[in-house]
Amino acid sequence: MKRFGFLLISISLTFAVFGFSSQSGETSGSLSLQIAQSIQNIVQSLIPSIHLDLIILHTVLRKTAHVLEYAVLGISYAVTLLAFKKSLWITLPIGLGIALIDEGLQSFSIERGPSLIDALLFDFPGIILGTFFVFLILKIGSKKNVS
């Protein structure tokens, strides 16, 4: 029964990612720009001698968000697959498929379009990162059980 809970979480997270992609470019961009401006203001108030270029910070923030949201998705699918006693590494093609579908869905959003660069350089590496994280946790756990 617990494994179906994991599956439900993974599917829900997938739809959340798709929901982010369905936002208009203006909505998505303005939210991340507000966050970038807040980060810029905090850093500059703490260290006045540092000047953070807002455009660069905004771009880094958006790309980091891609990696992190897909890392969470990778962790979720890896745990789900393990709960179903399937190979952890099946997460990789599932994640790549989700990343490609997600980018394709953006072609239906206002002021957005699909980007293979996002899918292959930010989304899929996030899946790899999340999957590898679960792999490491399993390895660390198995070494503790041996000693």
Q: What are the tens digits of pLDDT across the range 70-116?
A: 999 999 999 999 999 999 999 999 999 999 999 999 888 888 888 89
pLDDT at position 141: 85
Provide the 3-class DSSP secondary structure of residue 8: helix
7-21 pLDDT, tens digit per residue, is: 999 999 999 999 988
The CA-based dihedral angle spanning residues 67, 104, 18, 14, taken in that order and rounded to the nearest 10 degrees: -70
pLDDT at position 116: 92
Reported residue count of the chain is 147
What is the rounded average pLDDT of the residues 114-130? 95
- Domain range enclosing 78: 2-146
What is the rounded average pLDDT of the residues 48-60? 93
pLDDT at position 46: 93
Q: What average pLDDT does the structure give for the chain?
A: 92
Number of domains making up the chain: 1
38 CB-contact burial (10 Å; exposed 0-12 / middle 13-18 / buried 19+): exposed
